[in-house]
Amino acid sequence: MTFKQRLPYFLGGLTIGVILVTFFLGKKKTTFDYGPNARVLKNISIKNREFSSDVLTFINSNKIDTATVTQILKNGDVDIWNKTKLDSCIEYNIKGSRDLKNITLTVINCDSVATIKNITIE
């Protein structure tokens, strides 16, 4: 068989395989968190979340909902290159995406808890 004869069989099998994998993995709600941004966001989201007293007063005074903070922690952009290492924790700046681009969170990510240290609106 020549390449021209094999190509349609290959593309047909590839298409069927992609559809089957998408069908089976879509039901399992599998996530592919291989990038550094996705890994940090997932790590923060599975931990207990605490707010500093400054953040709580800022949230109350600016009428920002904790759902907004959750949305930023789910879909935000982590500034990986400017992280600050503390004793056993790492401090990240997470900027909101899409319509929340003007909000930046400063999160201290420790072993068992993630503390939201600061919120800034630009």
pLDDT confidence of residue 89? 92
User: Structure pTM?
Assistant: 0.72
CB neighbour list of residue 88: distance below 8 Å, 6 or more residues apart: 110, 111
What's the longest Cα–Cα distance across the chain? 72
In contact, 45 and 33? CB cutoff 8 Å: no
The pLDDT of residue 97 is above 90: no
pLDDT confidence of residue 63? 79
**What confidence tens digit (pLDDT) does each residue in 53-76 have?**
998 898 888 878 888 888 998 889
3-state helix, strand, coil in the chain (%, to 5): 50, 25, 25
pLDDT confidence of residue 84? 87
